[in-house]
Amino acid sequence: MSARHDFTKPAVRNVVVFALIAIVCISLLLPVIHVKLNITKRTAAGNQRIGEPYILVGGQNGTWFRPDQRSKLYKVSISNLSVTQLMSTIGPSVVWTGGWNGTQWLISGFGASSSAADASNPFIYLYDGQNQILAGTQHLGKQQASWHGGDVFAGSFDGGKWLLSGLGFGTNPNGRKPSNRMALGLFDGYNFTDLSSDIPNQWDAILYANAWNGQYWLVGGGWEGNEGVLFRYDGTNFTNLSSQLDSVIPQFDSVQAIGWNGDYWLVGGVGFLVKYDGQKFTDLTPDLDNAINTRNALHYVECCGSVNSLKWNGASWLIGGGAPVVVTEPLTAWITSYKDGTFTDLSSLLPTYIMNSAQNSSILSVTYTDDSWFMGGYENDHGMLLSYANSTITDLSYLVDNSMSTVNWVGGAELSGQSSMNTATCASPYHAAAVNLPIPTPKNAFAPCKLHNSIQAITAGNLVFLSQKQSSKT
């Protein structure tokens, strides 16, 4: 006699429902898992990269703000050190910055995308690691409004759109005629929204840095009149933090670098480095100065020692500096790590010609990918490119030296938690690796915050399937 299943019983019904859900999920996930497996896989030994790991190197040939200034963007293979030139712009131009959102790069700076009347200016270049993505990037001139002809110095992604910051041109609240001013905008891949008029205390300054922590952006800059600026932006409201930061450090000139590690922010700039927990600032400058060589110390009075770049790789920070971007002072590049409240000076590992530079040198950008750090900058009008792994710094400047006078930015696909894209999947020190799957999700899907160590997650937009309980701490 054959057995019959009674589907009216709760236990049986639950099993059937669970099985149907599992079948649907697997059918949705298999195609994208297959696509992503050529990028990253998880093994018992840790994260392994499959395929061709690379870094992007952006900057210029020629001198800042002169007619001979031309943008340069290269893709450098980490495995065989081959170099591929990317991107072309029209006329004087420069690559200032770039960002990775899990599937594609956004690179920008100064210069027009083409000679068309409505060409994007500043240009926006999207790249998926293989090809340029045109999308809506070529004809944004009218949308860019007061940005037009200006500069993008920083960009970060909130999971749906980019926040870009830099320098624009327009009439300030207390001004009688147009002038340079801070610029802020949102870009979703097709549309550009100018937010410059909404910036608190708008004036003649540059927004050099911004980063996202899963709840809000932290945006900073300054310079003109030795007045720094720092504010929070949650997508709707601005909170001005400039006075609060100014009260903690002896002199607030300009913010140059901002980073988030899942627990706290580091904010660095001309003459200072602070830690910010979302409520209060702690001045780390004395400890940093004690760690690095006296020649490199961040003097508050003497111009213009600066923290130019800082990056979290899931375990520690790497911080680099020297003269700020576009400032040619006789200063020397330096590099240090920061972990558990302790700075470790790594400057002695730099090539001797950089440390003993007769004129000047500076580290302007740091990134982490494929188990290595990479640094970019300049030394006496020659582009600088370095890698750091296993306590050794390797000089890769020969890859770019003949064609780049300055490396302003280096970027690596962020597989180890260092992206500012999303604190839940990329910025937490407890989250070693996530496989990002671009699956549409319901509008009411929750936005995750932070994952405990050893949790692996498959992210689908804002939806996350967890193998362990999620913490809500940010």
Long-range residue pairs from 333-336, CB within 8 A, at least 24 positions apart, any chain: 333/357, 333/361, 333/362, 333/363, 333/377, 333/379, 333/384, 334/292, 334/293, 334/296, 334/363, 335/363, 335/366, 335/375, 335/388, 336/288, 336/291, 336/292
Tens digits of per-residue pLDDT, 304-360? 789 999 999 999 999 999 988 877 777 889 999 999 999 999 999 999 999 876 668
Taking the C-alpha atoms of residue 196 and residue 181, their distance in angstroms, rounded to an integer, is: 8
Q: Are 60 and 376 in contact (CB under 8 A)?
A: no
Tens digits of per-residue pLDDT, 224-268? 666 899 999 999 999 999 999 999 998 899 999 999 999 999 999
Average the pLDDT over 192-219 and give the result: 93
Residue 85 scores a pLDDT above 50: yes
| pLDDT value, residue 207 | 96
Q: Are 212 and 156 in contact (CB under 8 A)?
A: yes
| pLDDT value, residue 461 | 30
Domains and CATH numbers, the chain: 53-412 (2.120.10.80), 431-474 (no CATH)
When mean pLDDT is compared across 37-41, 87-91, 172-176, the lowest value belongs to 37-41
Average the pLDDT over 64-90 and give the result: 87
| pLDDT value, residue 303 | 64
| pLDDT value, residue 266 | 98
When mean pLDDT is compared across 303-307, 392-396, 449-453, the lowest value belongs to 449-453
Cα-to-chain-centroid distance, residue 52: 21
Residue 217 scores a pLDDT above 80: yes
Residue 192 scores a pLDDT above 80: yes
| pLDDT value, residue 302 | 57
Where does the pLDDT of residue 13 fall: very low under 50, low under 70, confident under 90, or very high at 90 and above? low
Residue 471 DSSP label: B
Where does the pLDDT of residue 436 fall: very low under 50, low under 70, confident under 90, or very high at 90 and above? very low
| pLDDT value, residue 145 | 83
pTM for the full predicted model: 0.78
Average the pLDDT over 190-202 and give the result: 90
| Neighbour tally for 53: CB within 10 Å | 18
Residue 272 scores a pLDDT above 90: yes
Q: Are 212 and 420 in contact (CB under 8 A)?
A: yes
Greater model confidence, 136 or 260: 260
Please list, in sequence order, all residues whose beta carbon lies within 8 angstroms of the beta carbon of residue 106, skipping any fewer than 6 positions away. Answer: 98, 99, 124, 125, 126, 155, 157, 162, 187
When mean pLDDT is compared across 5-19, 341-355, 421-435, the lowest value belongs to 421-435
Average the pLDDT over 160-174 and give the result: 85
Q: Are 99 and 156 in contact (CB under 8 A)?
A: yes
Average the pLDDT over 109-113 and give the result: 91
When mean pLDDT is compared across 25-39, 294-308, 389-403, the lowest value belongs to 25-39
| pLDDT value, residue 414 | 63
Average the pLDDT over 392-406 and give the result: 92
| pLDDT value, residue 176 | 66
Average the pLDDT over 420-427 and give the result: 33
Tell me the average pLDDT of the chain: 79
Residue 460 scores a pLDDT above 70: no
Taking alpha carbons only, the member of 44, 32, 51, 128 closest to residue 370 is: 51
| pLDDT value, residue 54 | 96
Taking alpha carbons only, the member of 121, 112, 170 closest to residue 142 is: 121
DSSP string computed for 82-100: -EEEE---EEEEEEEEEEE
| Neighbour tally for 37: CB within 10 Å | 12
Highest mean pLDDT among 180-189, 431-440, 449-458: 180-189
Greater model confidence, 296 or 275: 275
| pLDDT value, residue 47 | 38
DSSP, collapsed to helix, strand or coil, labels residue 252 as coil
